[in-house]
Structures are given as C-alpha cells and as structure tokens.
Structure 1
Amino acid sequence: MRLRQQLYGVSVTPFAFVDGALDRADHLRDDPAALAEAWPQAGIIALDASGCALLDADGALRQFSGAELPAGPDEHIFLGLRDGRAWFAADAAHVPAARTDSLDLRRAAAAWPAWQATLFAQARALQHWHQRYRYCPACGGTLQFVRAGWLARCAGCASEHYPRTDQAIIAAITDGTRLLLGRQANWPARRWSVVAGFVEPGETLEQTIAREVMEETGVRVHTQTARYLASQPWPFPGALMLGFIAHAEPDAPHASEELEDARWFSADEVRAGLARDWREADGDGEAEGIVLSSPISIARYVIQMWLDEHQSARNGQ
C-alpha cells in the first residue's frame, strides 16, 4: 500500500495536509493559564485577509514567536503542539511584519515541508470559519469566539457553534478495465480527474458515490463494490475528501452541468497521464495526452491506487 502508518499515528502520505499534524491538545483550549505560560515561546503563523501566509526574507514561512506580538494568546487561535511547542494562528494585520510577501496554500503545499503545509491548512480552515461565521444562525445575535478560537458562543441565546467541515467523496470509478475521468470547463485543456461531490443529508457515502457519478456522467455504480482508501482535509475552504474505488457498468459517459466532458480511459492512457508533469496542463493546450491532478491532491492518489490494483490483477497477483 502507498499509504502507510508510522508510530504515534503520524501518516506518511503521497498527498498534502496530513503529514506532521499537530497534537490538537484539546485540554489546553480551556486552560488560559497554560496557554499564557506557553505564549512567549509559541510559534505563530500569520495569515492575511485572503488566507495567504506571510513569508520571511528567504521566501519561507515567516515564523513569529509569541514574544514578538503585542497581544496575548487570547487574541489568537490555538492550533496545538509540535514537539512541545505551542502554535497559534494570527491575523497578519496584528503582527509586526517588515515584509508583506505572502503565499497561498496550494503553492505552499507543493513547496514547503509537509508539517508546515499541514499547519497552514489547519490555520486557513479555522480562519475561514472565523471570517464567515459572525452571527448566530439561530437568533442572529453576535458570536463570540471562546475555547482558544474553537467554539463560537452566541451573546444573545447562548447557543454554541463549532467549526464546520463538509464531507465529500472522491472516487476512482472503473468498469474493470478502464478508469472514468471527467473535466470541468474552467480547467486547462488537457486536465482530467476523478469524480467528486459533497455528501447530502441522509446519505451514506456509498449512496453519494452512486448519485454523484450518475449526475455528472450518467454511469451506474455498484454501491456494494465501493471500498474506502484514505481521506484528506481539503481547506478550500473546509472539506474532508473521502477517497474510494468502486466498480460500475460500462455505460457511455456524457457531459453534464458539472463536467464538460467525461470518458473512460485505458490503463496505458492513465499511466502516461501520471508520468507527465501535472503542470503541463497549464502550458501548451495543443500537446497530446491527458494530464492528471496535482500531487498535493488525494485525486492523484486514488488514480494511482486504481492503476496499481489493475496492474496487479493483470499480473495475477
């Protein structure tokens, strides 16, 4: 298996936003004295209003310390612990940064050490929740963030609200010999990927796979064949991608409102697509051959898993 577990639950994965995850240290969210004690030596990641992280003079993550910031831990979001050091997320407007250079999460995931990209992803998801969740959905009252930024409590009705994560499936659909891929109209001309979609209320994950694939391509999935592979936090802005492989009828795919095109591809075509640099799709649209998803995405992982299993089956393993 390409996804393997090390000690202490730390994953070694071929996609972003998993490796090096912090110890969330939930018990410290209700311990302001402990957070205040950790604050001077704490690490701080600062995000601007658009969700980009501030960089240092070398173009790397700008790591502030709590001692550099004018406000204490109560004004920032506690993210967790790494090797005993507390980490917080701060608003870039509240840090003494001499430089204004910043980097978005997608590019950071492709360039930074894994733990820094994972830290950034956690900070970005929480920042987005804080930015969008200002008023109580029950009574319209003003929300106040407590528990080190992890709980929003209404000043009017005292109802409590937690960070939102939207579950979505992403599936390698096969008819036994081919892989189903689709492309959106706004993608570069040669870019293709697997089908994905959000889980609706009252659905199982298997039902979501069948519904999304049918809606987007017209292909009928056998829900009993759906097999879970792995998951990935996808903070664009706040999803959890759940990766599957499933078998389907060899129906002729068709375009839809979601996809401008959908097709079956052979193992040789998929193998060639994986071998190409994923950035080729942003270049010459007249070149031949498909280009597949970025390595930061679980989409590429589920494609590779299908290809590996297909090849093993052909080899009789």
Structure 2
Amino acid sequence: MKRAETVLFASSGLDRAAEMRRDEAVLKKALKDGAGVLPLWRGKPMLEGDFETGAVSPAFRPMGHPTLAKAREAPVFLGRDETAGPLFAVDISGWVPADVDEDQIGGFVDNTVQRHPSEEKTGAGFAELRRMMTGLSPRDAELVATARGLLEWHRTHPFCSRCGAASEMAEAGWHRACPSCGARHFPRTDPVVIMLITDGERVLVGRSPGWPERMYSLLAGFIEPGETVEGAIRREVMEEAGIEVGRVSYLSSQPWPFPASLMMGCRGEALSREITVDPEELEDARWVSRSEMLEVFAGRHPEIAPARKGAIAHFLLEHWLSDRLD
C-alpha cells in the first residue's frame, strides 16, 4: 500500500537515539539544560493550542516547572528531535485537580480538559488523546503516542513478574529492572489484526456491545500465541461473524497506545456471505456496499456513523472507497 505510512501515529522519522538511553550523564545534562518534558495526567497528555478546532501540540515544559512537581518517577526519554533536541515525558497523576468528572475520565468518550494551576496563563490542559489526535502533526503524534504507551506500561507493571518484588525504571524508561532477582522487563506491545473483509463491492463491519450509538468499525482481534497474522484474521472473522476468509494481504500498521497495541491492517477476501454473530463479541455485524459506505462517510446514513478519524479503520475504509489500497 503506497500510502501506508501516512496513517496517524505512524513513524515520523523520530530519532529514538537508543544509544542515549544508557548514558545517564548525557540525559541528566539535557534535563538540566532545559530539555522539554511532556507531562501526562492519567494517560492524558498536556496539550496547548485551540481545543475547539483541534489544532493543538504537546506542551513540553522544562524540569523544575511547577506543572511537573507531582512526577511519580524520573522522566522517560522519547528521542531526539532535529529542532527541539532531546525530549522526555513524565507521569504527574499524583496531582489532584480541583474538579474531576470521574464518569468521563477513562470512558469511551472523555470531553473534559484538566488544567494545572500553573498553566492558567498558557491555557494548556490535559485532554484525551483519542479526541484530539487528528489535530497533531505527524511528529507530535509519534511523540505523544510513545509517551502514553511507555508511561502506561510503567504504571501497570510496577512489580517483577518473575519474583513479585518491586521493579525499578532503567535505561531512561525503556525497561524495568528487578533488584531482587535481576530480571529485566521491556515495554509491552500487543499485536492486533484489524481486517478489511470484502465481498466484491461490499465490506464487513461490526459493533461491539457498549459502543456509542451508531458506531461501527472493521472487525479486529488479538493475535494469540503460536498464531500467524493470517491465521488470526481467519480465526477472528469466523469466531465473531461466522465468515470464512480466503486470501489475505497486508495493508498498513498503526501504533495504538490505548493502552499498548500495534494494529496490523490487512485485507481479506470472504469465501462465505451469511453472517452469524457471536453475541459475546459483537452486538451486530453487516455487509455494507460501497455506495452505502459513501453515505456513511458523508454523515447521511441513518444507522451507521463514520469510523473515528485517525483510527486505522477509518484510514483503510477511506482508501477502499477511493480505490487506493494498492
């Protein structure tokens, strides 16, 4: 697929500068010299710009800035930008805002913005990445996705899975070391297949229980141990919708830091047509024609809303509609 790397969160060519991760002296000097540090609160990056239009960018601050005062651990190193130099991120979830709507925080749709008292003049605030992601530049999107994925892994893996002792951040956040048994643990990425299953001029879509009203997407599922990408595609589609899949081809991939997946977008050709939904996996599944999907993307379909912009499902469907999958 010629435009595979234009999907949101795809590599922008960020220099991850792996050689710097072990050089504590260089990292400390960079932070002392004012390197940018992106604060995240409960998985929400601090952004600045126009929250109404979505034209935002990550709000980096130097160490010692009051916004970073509640940092849980040392900053994680994201990489080296050609213009900004070394960049970092830090979790400040220890800070407690004055007013928090817990019903929205962590929900499927979170429209709230939390603002640290020290950011009153800047207008910067913590916003849900899924809501603001399409307004980010490719470089900013890669930086924020990396920051969110790394910090969420540290938050959920504080103990050694071998002996149970508390582990420690090492190599600027790129692994955790156990001081008790010596085990080393590395950031987790879950491989997920997401499938554009076609039957001539029709595409298969489904909706999971609990999704917002009218939301449909391409079928997706985790790759199991000992399974190939092709095998996972055929198994998932058969399990969820009862459709047999034949030929499979790779299209594009997308890092998806919610919390830590790599979405592998593929196309599959249906060998059967009758849908049998597994109610534990899907609330509904249906074939949608190309002309009908055009109505969906135009916002005129009475039962189906367009896939979320920025997600690989939207990317694949958009390219299928415009016949640009090759």
- TM bucket by the smaller chain? 0.7 to 0.9
Q: Which deviates more from structure 2 when the two are superposed, residues 164-173 or residues 94-103?
A: 94-103
Tell me, yes or no, if the aligned pair for 2:167 and 2:176 is still in contact at 8 Å: yes
Task: Name the CA distance, whole Å, in 2 between partners of 1:268 and 1:93.
Answer: 46
Distance change in 2, residues 1:94/1:24 (3 Å): farther
Q: List runs of 5+ in structure 2 lacking aligned partners.
A: 96-115
Following superposition of structure 1 onto structure 2, how do residues 102-117 of structure 1 map, counting pairs within 5 Å?
102-117=126-141
User: What residue number does 1:34 align with?
Assistant: 26
1:128 and 2:127 matched: no
Q: 2:62 aligned to 62, 65, 72, which one?
A: 65
Q: How far apart, CA to CA, are the structure 1 residues paired with 2:131 and 2:47?
A: 13
Structure-to-structure mapping, 1:42-81, within 5 angstroms = 42-48=35-41, 50-56=42-48, 60=56, 61-66=58-63, 68=65, 75-81=74-80
The answer as to 2:267 corresponding to 1:245 is: yes
Task: Report how far residue 57 of structure 1 moved.
Answer: 8.1
Query: Structure 1: how far apart are the matches of 2:50 and 2:243?
Result: 49
Within 5 Å, give how 1:4-15 maps onto structure 2: 11=5, 13=6, 15=7
CA–CA separation in structure 2 for the residues paired with 1:309 and 1:81: 37
Alpha carbons 1:76, 1:88 under 8 Å: kept: yes
**Could you tell me how far 1:122 is from its partner in structure 2?**
0.8
Partner in structure 1 of residue 111 of structure 2: none
* 1:143 correspondence with 2:167: yes
Measured in 2, the distance between the counterparts of 1:80 and 1:265 equals 42
Identity %: 37
Structure 1: 5+ residue runs without aligned partners? 5-10, 278-286, 313-317
Q: CA deviation at 1:198?
A: 0.3
TM-score w.r.t. the length of structure 2 is 0.81
**Further displaced range: 240-249 or 106-115:** 106-115
Residue in 2 that maps onto 1:284: none
Of Structure 1 and Structure 2, the greater helix share is in 1
Which residue does the alignment assign to 2:313? 299
Q: Is the CA contact (8 Å cut-off) linking 2:251 and 2:325 kept in structure 1?
A: no
CA–CA distance in structure 2, aligned partners of residues 53 and 152 of structure 1: 22
Supply the AA of the counterpart residue of 2:3.
L
When the two chains are superposed, the root-mean-square deviation of aligned CA atoms in Å is 2.7
1:1-317 alignment to 2 at 5 Å?
3=3, 11=5, 13=6, 15-18=7-10, 20=12, 22-39=14-31, 40-48=33-41, 50-56=42-48, 60=56, 61-66=58-63, 68=65, 75-83=74-82, 85-92=85-92, 98-99=118-119, 101-222=125-246, 225-256=247-278, 257-276=280-299, 288-309=302-323
Deviates more, 1:186-195 or 1:202-211: 186-195
Ranges of 4+ aligned residues in structure 1 off by more than 3 Å? 55-61, 66-72, 93-97, 308-312
CA distance in 1, matches of 2:93, 2:228: 42
Following superposition, the deviation at residue 190 of structure 1 comes to: 2.0
Moved more, 53-62 or 204-213: 53-62
Shift of 1:141: 1.5
Equivalent residue letter for 2:86? A
- Inter-partner Cα distance in structure 1 for 2:126 and 2:296: 32
User: Quick check: 1:171–1:302 contact (8 Å CA) kept in 2?
Assistant: no
Instruction: Work out the CA distance in 2 between the residues paired with 1:121 and 1:127.
Output: 10
* Distance in structure 2 (CA, Å) of the matches to 1:58 and 1:303: 28
Kindly tell me the number of residue pairs found equivalent between the two proteins.
Answer: 291
C-alpha distance in 1 between matches for 2:82 and 2:202: 45
